[in-house]
Structure 1
Amino acid sequence: MPGPGVPYGERLARVALTRVAEPGDELVGRWLTERGPEEVLRALRGGGGRLDGVSPQRWEGFRLRARDLPHPEADLATAEGTGCRFVCPGDPEWPAQLDDLGTGRPVGLWVRGAPSLRFWALRSVALVGARACTDYGVHMAATLSAGLAERGWTVVSGAAYGVDGAAHRGALGVDGATVGVLACGVDVAYPRGHERLIRSIGEHGLLLAELPAGAHPTRSRFVQRNRVIAALTRGTVVVEAELRSGSLVTARRARELHRTVMGVPGPVTSGLSSGVHRLLRADGALVTDPDEVIELVGHIGELAPERRGPALPRDLLPPEAARVLEAMPARNAVPVGKLARAAGTPSELTLVRLHELRSLGFVERKGDHWWLLPPAPAVARHPNV
């Protein structure tokens, strides 16, 4: 059904143009801005002269695609019959942050799933990474995704193998919100091995595509899909990526759009960490858990707990007692006088501190000699202590 504020003729023209223009075509985007969808479609169908800024060969390519288009009303009816809808600029459901793409913003989006795209995108994070990821990458992607979803954030990814799939499964596993952005039509399960996952995303979350039903992915469409993931979300987290990785394209687009760029570190010996580590050396933020992600992309006051190492009993000692304890030899018993010289503390005060240390289980005494006892186990410190 037509959305409020979007003339029906404009909506039909945008539907038709999703079959003519490739995603992210900035030339077509400029035409849409300057002339409007209906005039652009009319020109492509032969209702006027050639539009400016295009070579004769490319213009002929546009004309070939526009020549035998199915009627856009039929596309809308087919979409509605399969539980899909078309969302375009001017609709209440249109996420305004996609307008940051300028002339490269989508002509419109084919959407499958009941939730509101605009509302789900308000608190969303992109989670992307290597397709051929390690078990560590799968674990980190699923853990981050589940944690973000449990905290009310929408996890956005590309439904690919590896990190993408783990991210979607992590959110679905806790009944959280997840959005799959596809480089094909929303009715095309790609990759084929993710057919069940993609169906599940469409049933419990949202599937998005710039391309109409039946369209298949190409290399360039994957690249352009990444710009939508970057623009739709508040920030992008990269989990495992080689130096030439599509997920780094998403991160670069996110940086260009002034979104937060984050990376999860990995082993320095792994090629799958090299891209992430280069990202972190540039201006990416290092994150290791959902709270750290939310601190970067959330509202003021949504802070991650302070991380501290385990508290050792000797950390709680007064300075003089700690100095006497540090002066104790590791293996041999020692008399008070010798220990006092090593600690730089008067003998009387050294003896007082030794008795305190004995009561706390640090040292033991036999006659005039003192020696160290085995250290007590570390005590985990509460993050807010």
Structure 2
Amino acid sequence: MTVEDQQLIRRARAGLSRVIEPRDAIGHMLISALGPAVSWEIVSTGRRLSAEEGLALTQAVQRAPEAVGGTMSSAAQRWKARAAVVDIDADRRALEDVGGWLCVPEDDDWPAQLDQLGLQVPVALWGRGRRTGLRRWPQDAVAIVGSRDVTSYGRSITFDLAGALAARGRT
């Protein structure tokens, strides 16, 4: 894989992670069937799937029909508003400003255990601190999971909890 391909995949996964929710089975099947770059193109532009892409997605859905709720059309409507406000370059700059990193499944240090989540595997991991901690996962890892529409109380508790865990060496 070329450096340009790697950069394209990172950008696509960064954008997709801002649009596709963890429980969005159609979004995850789209990524699985067509790859992150083509999926981001479809999600961000709203273009229709080609016949070949539609067939690949249909075959993915047929392998796990019980996991899918809704249709591609309803999913595209859901993604449209979110994708319209995604600015991958601004996100990258903000991440760099706080000393953060983005880890994608194509990276060598991606925690392979996450792949056991199937259709709920994260599109990407955004983090701060020592990225080397990913290699130790899951022995001393903790996940704090919440809503994108966080309350001020939830944000406060999350920062307190995450800070205390990080101070004790937890990933």
Query: What TM-score comes out, normalization by structure 2 length?
Result: 0.70
What is the match of residue 83 of structure 2?
66
- Structure 1's unaligned 5+ residue stretches are 125-153, 157-178, 208-385
Letter in 2 for 1:119: R
**1:315-363 CA distances to partner (integer Å, 9 max, x unpaired)?**
xxxxxxxxxxxxxxxxxxxxxxxxxxxxxxxxxxxxxxxxxxxxxxxxx
Structure with more contact order per residue of length (Cα contacts < 8 Å, sep ≥ 6): 2
SS at match of 2:144: strand
Letter in 2 for 1:78: A
- Contact (CA 8 Å) 2:18, 2:82: kept in 1 or not? yes
Structure with the higher strand share, 1 or 2: 1
What is the match of residue 32 of structure 2?
33
What is the match of residue 114 of structure 2?
98
**1:172-199 CA distances to partner (integer Å, 9 max, x unpaired)?**
xxxxxxx3433257xx883524533323
SS at match of 2:136: helix
What is the match of residue 15 of structure 1?
14
**1:8-28 CA distances to partner (integer Å, 9 max, x unpaired)?**
011001001111101132221
* C-alpha distance in structure 2 between counterparts of 1:99 and 1:9, whole Å: 21
* C-alpha distance in structure 1 between counterparts of 2:158 and 2:34, whole Å: 40
- Contact (CA 8 Å) 2:104, 2:124: kept in 1 or not? yes
Query: How big is the shift at 1:95?
Result: 0.5
Which of 147, 154, 157 in structure 2 is aligned with 1:190? 154
- Contact (CA 8 Å) 2:144, 2:158: kept in 1 or not? no
Query: How big is the shift at 1:203?
Result: 5.4
- Contact (CA 8 Å) 1:94, 1:117: kept in 2 or not? no
Query: How big is the shift at 1:107?
Result: 0.3
Larger Rg: 1
* C-alpha distance in structure 2 between counterparts of 1:83 and 1:38, whole Å: 25
What is the match of residue 201 of structure 1?
165
* C-alpha distance in structure 1 between counterparts of 2:47 and 2:156, whole Å: 42
- Contact (CA 8 Å) 1:95, 1:117: kept in 2 or not? no
* C-alpha distance in structure 2 between counterparts of 1:189 and 1:9, whole Å: 37
* C-alpha distance in structure 2 between counterparts of 1:33 and 1:120, whole Å: 26
Change (3 A) 1:199 1:189: farther
Change (3 A) 1:61 1:99: same
- Contact (CA 8 Å) 1:30, 1:103: kept in 2 or not? yes
SS at match of 1:11: helix
SS at match of 2:137: helix
Which of 109, 131, 135 in structure 1 is aligned with 2:125? 109
- Contact (CA 8 Å) 2:26, 2:72: kept in 1 or not? no
Where do residues 346-365 of structure 1 align in structure 2 (5 Å cutoff)?
none
Query: How big is the shift at 1:44?
Result: 1.8
- Contact (CA 8 Å) 1:112, 1:202: kept in 2 or not? no
Structure with the higher helix share, 1 or 2: 2
* C-alpha distance in structure 2 between counterparts of 1:189 and 1:22, whole Å: 22
**1:87-138 CA distances to partner (integer Å, 9 max, x unpaired)?**
110212211111112232110111222152332215x2xxxxxxxxxxxxxx
* C-alpha distance in structure 2 between counterparts of 1:204 and 1:80, whole Å: 25
SS at match of 2:126: strand
Question: Considering only aligned residues, what root-mean-square deviation do their CA atoms show, in Å?
Answer: 2.9
**1:30-52 CA distances to partner (integer Å, 9 max, x unpaired)?**
11111111111111233631565
* C-alpha distance in structure 1 between counterparts of 2:153 and 2:136, whole Å: 23
Change (3 A) 1:204 1:113: farther
Letter in 1 for 2:109: E
**1:280-308 CA distances to partner (integer Å, 9 max, x unpaired)?**
xxxxxxxxxxxxxxxxxxxxxxxxxxxxx
Query: What TM-score comes out, normalization by structure 1 length?
Result: 0.34
